[in-house]
Structure 1
Amino acid sequence: MEKLPKFSDLPLNKADPHHSAWGLYGKDDQLGFLNRLTDDVVKEAAKEIQTGTRISLNWPLDAQGDLPFFGRQVFHKNVYQKPPRIVNDDVWTFNTQSSSQWDGLRHFGYQKEAKFYNGVTLDDIHGANKSNVNGIGAWAEKGIVGRGVLLDYHSWRIEQGISFNAFKTESIPLEHLKKVAEAQGVTFKFGDILIVRSGYMAAYNELPKQELAALSKVMPPTFAGVEQSEEMLEWIWNNFSAVSGDQPGFEAWPSQKDYMLHEVLLAGWGCPIGELFDLEALAAHCKTTSRYSFFVTSEPCNVPGGVASPPNILAIF
């Protein structure tokens, strides 16, 4: 494990936004928490591969059809022939956050300070001298590769008789996630890729289209997710290289605090946030095999200056 500053020492520079760790990996760093995925960490994670079983965590790009949440654009696919040859091409047009996604470092900044990771401003992204700084293409060079751990909160809370509405602003307490890990026999290693099955995808798959249409019009949208708390932030800081789940926002939405985890994770630390991962097949396999850790390989799209990307992610056992 690398020598980390204590969570209580954040922000590293007192003039920077709350909880931020700007400069930890250099003032021009664009990898953030992915610096935790060293060659040694990845080599150790590869020991998780024992059977060769591969499971995709990618929801289809068109899964939300014409009813994407957060007002995002729908997926369009145009397949066309190129006569006189017997040849087809296609063109896809979509919002990178309308299905499974990694949120990149251009997506969400500190709202009050109007700053992204390592102090990048909106002008740096949109202004006259704009560049590709903090673009998700920087993550494509080595990918997001390491040891993944599933915390199947959905199955655990059903066993415990705990009610849960994925489409309401309900917080998953850190205490519960730790109990899930204990029940599954999971221990964490520094640099793990955290994956939380909240039950959103299971709930979504059961709703008729008319209910989804009504929910898509709710503004602001409301979704369940992990709690916003100092304790949650400290747990993530001490353990993980990336966090993800099957829910639209990872954290409970809208925020229950005067800050959002998105601000600290993305803008403060450069921690990738994965959302809308399809975890149903993964959860079934983990339950059958009693194995909740595995090798993860994910290759964000190499788009210089991109904001987010489909994860192109596999769990390998």
Structure 2
Amino acid sequence: MSKRWVNRPEGSTWGDFGEDDERGRINLLTEEKVRQGIAEAKTGKNFCLSLPLDYPGKRLLNPRRFPPRHFATSRGGLANFNFPLGMNDPRLLDVVSDDSVLLCLQYSTQWDSLCHIGARFDADGDGEAEVVYYNGWRGGEDIVGPTSEQPGNEHTRYEGTEAKRLGIENMAETCVQGRGVLIDIEKHFGRERTYVTYDQLMRIMEADKITVEKGDMVLLHTAFTKVILDLEKEPDEHTLHHACCVLDSRDERLLNWITDSGLAALIADNYGVEDPHAEIPEDATLQMPLHHHCIFKLGVPLGELWYLHDLALWLREAGRSRFLLTAPPLRLPGVVGSPATPVATV
């Protein structure tokens, strides 16, 4: 093939930003969008939009992801923490502490990169589906690692895993700054589990006079991370899987709105924007249709488990929905997701 793909998914953006594009709709964060974001920074007040990265606590939200494991580095076989450099040279007064963290990159406040979700899709046009990701990058060639058939358990370290394409570093290099637009779902629906449809979302936006324009980063406030924070790292499974709103990802009009709005990124304070644990209909071919639509088809990165509550309350009081958002992931080559410490400036 002269191209990586002959067929592209219906309604996708594959090729729209170039045949070798790895950034998707983050390309829409142009200098003009940065200026629009800066124009919304009217007071200079900042909000940290990250949970402490050791939240939610335990492993009930996703048993495959564990809290950070924090430990000291080693110096000469001793713990390199409160370490007197004068131990072997009394002239030296210095004391040093140095540490490490073993971190699940998507345990807490995070970005999903464009290699987080792929699909079995006939990109070659030969009648057989292959594993591909956004813009036709290939599983096993561009996104490499052990196969799903390789045995192991939760303690197994599957070495040699690398996203040669679509890794989170592509996003980090853009700095991820522009105009954020917050949709305050909790204000209208409270904290009961509700599957928010297109019609309901449009009514919220109309009531709050919210407009989303091409290149905006859209944030959904449900108060889920406020609930998590209040549990103080002692969550219970029922609360984690039944508290607060999620988008109804099987509402085709909602997915079409994501396409038509031109949003550059979709962010929520809940676990998956949609409900990854929702029952799968018998005729369904996707477990997570919103992830598929955003990441695989459109090249829209997803932000999850962001702490939006304080910002949302301030915006409510001020009668505003827009602000400057600065939210780069870690510039860590070859990885699928990243912790984030986003900042909203109002």
Write the letter of the residue equivalent to 1:101: Q
In the alignment, what sits opposite 1:74?
Answer: 67
Tell me how many residue pairs correspond in the alignment: 294
In the alignment, what sits opposite 1:134?
Answer: 166
The offset of 1:312, in angstroms, is 2.1
Q: 2:18 aligns with which of 26, 30, 47?
A: 26
CA distance in 1, matches of 2:327, 2:234: 34
CA distance in 1, matches of 2:201, 2:14: 28
In the alignment, what sits opposite 2:84?
Answer: 83
Matched, 1:56 2:48: yes
In the alignment, what sits opposite 2:192?
Answer: 164
1:258 counterpart SS class: coil
Q: What per-residue deviation string (whole Å, max 9, x for no partner) do you get for residues 198-228 of structure 1?
A: 2322333455876615667x8xx99852112
Matched, 1:271 2:300: yes
In the alignment, what sits opposite 1:107?
Answer: 116
2:132 counterpart SS class: coil
Alpha-carbon distance change, 45 to 316 in structure 1, aligned in 2, over 3 angstroms = same
Alpha-carbon distance change, 184 to 77 in structure 1, aligned in 2, over 3 angstroms = same
CA distance in 1, matches of 2:207, 2:36: 24
In the alignment, what sits opposite 2:265?
Answer: 242
- Identify the structure with the greater helix proportion: 1
2:62 counterpart SS class: helix
Q: 284-293 vs 26-35, which deviates more?
A: 284-293
What is the aligned-residue RMSD (CA, Å)?
Answer: 2.6
In the alignment, what sits opposite 2:247?
Answer: 226
Trace 1:235-314 onto structure 2 (pairs within 5 A).
235-239=257-261, 240-254=263-277, 257-259=284-286, 260-314=289-343
2:95 counterpart SS class: coil
TM-score by length of 1: 0.84
In the alignment, what sits opposite 2:155?
Answer: none
**Is the contact made by 2:181 and 2:323 (CA closer than 8 Å) also made in structure 1?**
yes
CA distance in 2, matches of 1:254, 1:214: 12
1:177 counterpart SS class: helix
CA distance in 1, matches of 2:272, 2:298: 17
Write the letter of the residue equivalent to 2:106: Q
In the alignment, what sits opposite 2:90?
Answer: none
Write the letter of the residue equivalent to 2:285: D
In the alignment, what sits opposite 2:226?
Answer: 202
CA distance in 1, matches of 2:163, 2:185: 40
1:91 counterpart SS class: strand
TM-score by length of 2: 0.77
Alpha-carbon distance change, 139 to 254 in structure 1, aligned in 2, over 3 angstroms = same
CA distance in 2, matches of 1:309, 1:202: 21
**Structure 1 unmatched runs, 5+:** 1-12
Alpha-carbon distance change, 66 to 81 in structure 1, aligned in 2, over 3 angstroms = farther
**Is the contact made by 2:56 and 2:235 (CA closer than 8 Å) also made in structure 1?**
no
Write the letter of the residue equivalent to 1:45: G
CA distance in 1, matches of 2:111, 2:233: 26
Matched, 1:119 2:136: yes
Percent identity over the alignment is: 29
CA distance in 1, matches of 2:233, 2:55: 12
Write the letter of the residue equivalent to 2:260: N
Write the letter of the residue equivalent to 1:149: V
